Amino acid sequence: MRSVADLVEEAALRRLVGPEPYADGLRLADAGAVRLVEFTPLTVVAKVADGTPAPRVELASKDGELAWRCECDEGITGLGCRHLAAAGIETWRSAPARRP
């Protein structure tokens, strides 16, 4: 089964959220705004300090596909948001090195 980190590789994450939310998520991740609350190969829960309260993002590998949820207005409607991008970027960065 593919891990969450495998499912949030840069190209896949860019396709999922789009260019502007990806750029905003990258800025959040680079600024240290992402706190990984739970980090396992198949489940990641993060808080993204981008407002009060900090939106909670859940990422999961389900049947080899990325399932996600974010508490922000965009995320609730199902749109890929900057918080999803930030959590995905931080997940990728924090994951153990992958074998080729």
Average pLDDT over the chain reads 94
- Name the burial class of residue 75, with classes exposed (0-12), middle (13-18) and buried (19+) by CB atoms within 10 angstroms of its CB: buried
31: nearest Cα among 48, 52, 14, 12: 48
pLDDT at 52: 78
**What's the pTM?**
0.94
79-91 pLDDT, tens digit per residue, is 999 999 999 999 9
10-20 pLDDT, tens digit per residue, is 999 999 999 99
pLDDT at 99: 59
34-73 pLDDT, tens digit per residue, is 999 999 999 999 999 997 789 999 999 999 899 999 999 9
